[in-house]
Amino acid sequence: MAVLVSGGAGYIGSHMVLELLDRGEKVVVLDDLSTGFWWAVPPEAIFLQGDIGNQDLVEGLIAEYGVTEIAHFAARIVVPESVSDPLGYYFNNTVKTRALIESAARKGVKHVIFSSTAAVYGEPPVSPVPEEIALNPINPYGRSKLMSEWMLQDAAKAHGFSYVALRYFNVAGADPKGRSGQSSPNVTHLIKVASQAALGQRDGLTVFGTDYATPDGTCVRDYIHVTDLARAHLAALDHLRRGGESLTLNCGYGRGYSVKEVVEVVKKVSGVDFPVTLAQRRPGDPASLIARADRIRAELGWRPEHDDLEEIVGQALAWEEKLRIKNASA
């Protein structure tokens, strides 16, 4: 029995791999390394570089390594980029997910954990956002993930496997043991960018939009520690192994911070007052996204252990410094 982790060399996927290995699971990682890094995959895992849309490859891996479960992380995730390249996002996030689901069904995979997103909600009329609210994504990234949710739901009913889809809110931080973190240099995650600014790796930080209908005019998000998120996937896997029903759940803390609040925390933790530039809104950014997070606790028994913004920021800064040293010695 093995777990196939698609995108396991990326940010969230690599943390899932670590958590699986920490408890003795057999792990197979498939990643095309378009945004991931081979060195992020621990040697204890089986690693293959390849495309999740290559069905011959995927079905061969399932058969060769006895894969019974899939944790699917591989995707493109930058909202503004999805607006400028919608077809690329539908191909990578939706078409290739369809191929992966079909391969899983053909080869008798029992359980699938799917990496979805709060972007499926669009501009929700209530906050915190419950799972049962009407879904109305406002950008191609959110639509690509929602279509994948629908495919997963329909395929599970037709082919007899079970799944959990986790709708992430804003993922941040790094492995508390310093083994992995957000390693891509050009991502748009706020805490990553602010940490780079604090460490002098960027000239400063740009805040996009100060006229939103929020307390300070900047976007509000629910920031979840990446290790807590990875452990939510473990809880989902355990739920399915116990015979639990298929579920779609929010994964967040149920509390939001504005862009300005996050910037101030990064400045406080780092001790650096880096420059901040105010700019116009970016396309596709909703004003506020905060999870209603009671269902995941009730259904999976998940309990976060790193629900502290200063801790999240401190570990993100530590990872950036470690990454700087690693890159300098490469």
Model pTM?
0.95
The two tokens of residue 268 are 């406080």
pLDDT band at 176 (very low <50, low <70, confident <90, very high): very high
What residues pair up with 71 in beta bridges, in sequence order? 5, 113
The tally of CA atoms less than 13 A away on the side-chain side of residue 159 is 21
CA distance readout (Å), 170 to 35, 130, 242, 257, 280: 18, 16, 29, 10, 21
Please list, residue by residue across 38-62, b when 16 or more beta carbons sit within 10 angstroms of its beta carbon and e when fewer do: eebbbeebbbbeebbbbbeebbebb
Give the pLDDT confidence of 16-48 residue by residue, as tens digits: 999 999 999 999 999 999 999 999 999 999 999
Closest of 187, 258, 265 to residue 10, by C-alpha: 187
Q: Which residue has the tokens 């995650």?
A: 189
Which ranges of the chain does DSSP label H, i.e. alpha helix? 11-22, 55-65, 79-84, 86-89, 96-106, 140-159, 190-198, 226-241, 259-270, 294-300, 309-329
Q: Give residue 103's pLDDT band: very low, low, confident or very high (50, 70, 90).
A: very high
Mean pLDDT of the chain: 96
Tokens of 63: 């058969």
Facing residues of 206 across strands?
277
Letter string b/e over residues 251-279, b meaning 16 or more CB atoms within 10 A of that residue's CB: bbbbebbbbbbbbebbbebbeeebebeee
| C-alpha distances in Å from residue 84, one per residue of 74, 130, 322 | 20, 29, 33
Q: What is the mean pLDDT of residues 99-111?
A: 98
pLDDT tens-digit series, residues 41-74? 999 999 999 999 999 999 999 999 999 999 999 9
- pLDDT for 330 equals 64
pLDDT bucket at 329, cuts 50 / 70 / 90? confident
Let me know the angle formed at the C-alpha of 281 by 279 and 286, rounded to the nearest 5 degrees.
Answer: 145
Instruction: Supply the residues annotated as catalytic.
Output: 141
Q: Over 70: is that where the pLDDT of 207 sits?
A: yes
For residue 212, what pLDDT band results from cuts at 50, 70 and 90? Answer: very high
Rounded average pLDDT over 125-150: 96
In the chain the first and final C-alpha atoms are separated, in Å, by 36
Domains of the chain: 2-169+225-251 (3.40.50.720), 190-221+254-329 (3.90.25.10)
